[in-house]
Structure 1
Amino acid sequence: MSDAYVVEVKRSARKVSPAAGRWVREHGTRRRFATKALARQWARVMSPPGRTVWVQDAAPWDGTPVDGYVVGGRRARPRRDPEPGEQESLPVAADGSARD
């Protein structure tokens, strides 16, 4: 790739961000930026309140002519575990042995 940073706006970003969807309809799915930092800044601007759009680097073995993808959704699954440092008690039978 050249010094520019080329991204492809994926469907997940267009679903999350109406602004990203409008941009794709007007300009196509790929966009060239001078730097990766500018691509990330554009993704932040495209993020509507309460939703996230971000730049994910393309894998080294990805054969497409892009450096990264603009994607949307959740970066991580919501936590269902207790907060770090908190423990839950194990069920114990009357004789003191652990129960399933």
Structure 2
Amino acid sequence: MSGYVVEIKPSARRSSRTAGEWVHESGPHRRFASKALACEWARKASADGPVWVQDVPAHDPNPADGYLVGGRRTAGSPATAGSQSSLDGV
């Protein structure tokens, strides 16, 4: 079977009403003719909150080709993203 299968993750359902309605009506997977079409649907589904398509890692046994995920991406420079500070403020 050809195409690009997306698994709609809970984070996308919480972020996007469109994604949540799809899962409610059709289940947690959606097949597209290409990744580009999946990304276009994600862009349109982002009207309520940000969602995007990311490829399933090669080591993941999931049969889907990609995940539709949602939430907020880290803002700021790559140097500060993920940095940590101590709890005592030092």
TM-score (norm 1): 0.71
- Structure 2 unaligned residues grouped into runs of 5+: 78-89
Q: Deviations over 1:5-64 (max 9, x none)?
A: 001000000000111101100000001100000000001111125x31100100001101
Instruction: Report whether the alignment pairs 1:58 with 2:53.
Output: no
Instruction: Report whether the alignment pairs 1:19 with 2:18.
Output: yes
Partner of 1:6: 5
CA RMSD of aligned residues (A): 1.8
Instruction: Report the AA paired with residue 20 of structure 2.
Output: G
Partner of 1:93: none
Instruction: Report the AA paired with residue 47 of structure 2.
Output: P
Report % sequence identity: 54
Q: Which protein shows a greater Rg? A: 1
Instruction: Report the AA paired with residue 62 of structure 1.
Output: D
Partner of 1:48: 47
Partner of 1:79: 76
Q: CA deviation at 1:75?
A: 2.2
- Structure 1 unaligned residues grouped into runs of 5+: 81-99
Q: Secondary structure at the match of 2:36?
A: helix
